[in-house]
Chains A and B, each alone.
Chain A
Amino acid sequence: MAGAKEIRTKIASIKNTQKITKAMEMVAASKMRRAQERRRAAMPYAQKIRNVIGHLRLANPDYRHPYLTERVAKTAGIIVVSTDRGLCGGLNVNIFKQVLVEIRQYEEAGIAVELCLIGSKAQQFFRRLKYPIASTVTHLGDKPHAHALIGAVKVMLDGYTEGRIDRLSIVHAEFVNTMSQKPVAIQLLPAEPVKSSELQDMWDYIYEPSAAELLEGFMARYIESQVYLGAVENLACEMAARMVAMKSATDNAGKLIDELQLIYNKARQAAITKEISEIVGGAAAV
């Protein structure tokens, strides 16, 4: 029965793994719900500020902010949002693929790239590549706070104001539904105007204090809110992807256990048959 014993320990160990994956699945499910709520909560701010910026883009103050004006691109900044932890299926890989596609497009157009990395998975991936990294931030946790992102984003914004980068985009996963998340690339700078059909309000604002100072504050908040929204959305995606990955792991473990159980039963049966036939053979000899 040596074989049978080995199979039994193997079954026990797979059962333990299954328990873990099951627990991770349930944790991810509950975290996903909370992450989605957080995403919903972040929506109004992002929408409101996007409207304001859209108005501003149409407005004609005596001062044109660099964030609103298109210029010839030599270097492009990309903000890459990834997860801090693994075990979430192909989520990060898909995001990185999208980033590499973007990078290749830029390089074909003769534009250099500079990266801002959010999440330790992006760090692990892009540190091996040759692209310059301007800023990073990791370990945002399950409740990302907007202020944790300020520093990393400011480096890119400063780069844009100083003329080090001429364009800024963000790549993160978009939450389609629980089963599917797809990477999206959104251009942040220069800010794209809101479609004119969405605008019914007046945009001939009084600026207080000066337009320059004001736009600086508004644009920084706009970009930060977009990045924050990206981070929150990515978190919801991470949890959904992990939930699905862990569910399939649990299912696989179950299948494996069933198969092993069958093999174990057969081995046990064979051993019993052998024993009986030995006894019967012995009795016949007597």
Chain B
Amino acid sequence: MASTINVDIVSAEGAIHSGVAVMVFVPATQGELGIAPRHAPLLTLLKAGEVRVQTVEGEELSFYVGGGALEIQPQRVTVLADTAIRAHDLDEAHAMAAKQRAEELMSNAADEMGLAEAHAELLRAVTQLKMLDKFRKMRK
């Protein structure tokens, strides 16, 4: 029997495939990579493309990944697929948006602080007026 290698394809939101293969092809950033059983341990990143898994039965399964990471152990291949489309600029844009939201939140907090203070001031003034009113009535 031909030697085999275990393949796990997982994404952050769920497991996609798990099985045994005789050969796996992945789209690494440096070019397509063919992985046979007893491959040397290797780490690499994947770009968007097709992961092909040749099963023991001779079938070829195909999975689309939008990028991700890959770990190879002699007896196991782990594909960590991304669920989102990743690009440096895009990540940067996401980060900027998150930062901006935080800044808005902080500046709004200052506004609300002002509002709360004004409220307290108003409350104090109203109480003072009421007290004055009471005194006036008592004198009459």
Task: Select B44's contact among A135, A137, A208, beta carbons within 8 Å.
Answer: A208
A221 in contact with B41 (CB, 8 Å): no
Task: Select B41's contact among A45, A151, A155, A206, beta carbons within 8 Å.
Answer: A206
Give 1 or 0 for each of A208-220: 1 = CB within 8 Å of chain B CB: 1100011001100
Known contacts A44-B10, A45-B80, A203-B41, A133 near B95 by CB under 8 Å = no
Stretch from B57-65, B105-113, B124-132 at the A interface = B105-113
| A interface: dominant SS | helix
Count A interface residues, CB 8 Å. 47
Q: Taking the complex as formed, is B71 at the interface, i.e. its CB lies under 8 A from any CB of chain A?
A: yes
- Tell me, rounded to whole Å, the shortest Cβ–Cβ distance linking B17 to chain A: 11
Count B interface residues, CB 8 Å. 46
B13 in contact with A42 (CB, 8 Å): yes
A207 in contact with B95 (CB, 8 Å): no
Q: Taking the complex as formed, is B42 at the interface, i.e. its CB lies under 8 A from any CB of chain A?
A: yes
Q: Taking the complex as formed, is A134 at the interface, i.e. its CB lies under 8 A from any CB of chain B?
A: yes
Give 1 or 0 for each of B71-94: 1 = CB within 8 Å of chain A CB: 101101010101111100001111
B95 in contact with A146 (CB, 8 Å): no
**Across the interface, which residues of A come within 8 angstroms of B69, CB to CB?**
49, 52, 217-218, 221
A202 in contact with B74 (CB, 8 Å): yes
Q: How far is the CA of A38 from the CA of B71 in the complex (A)?
A: 24
| B interface: dominant SS | mixed
Q: How far is the CA of A109 from the CA of B119 in the complex (A)?
A: 37
B12 in contact with A224 (CB, 8 Å): yes
**Residues of B participating in the A interface, judged by any CB pair closer than 8 Å:** 8, 10-15, 28-30, 40-45, 68-69, 71, 73-74, 76, 78, 80, 82-86, 91-99, 101-102, 105-106, 108-109, 112-113
Besides the contacts A44-B8, A127-B105, A201-B76, what 10 more A-B pairs have beta carbons closer than 8 Å? A123-B105, A127-B106, A134-B99, A137-B98, A146-B13, A151-B95, A152-B94, A154-B91, A154-B94, A201-B73
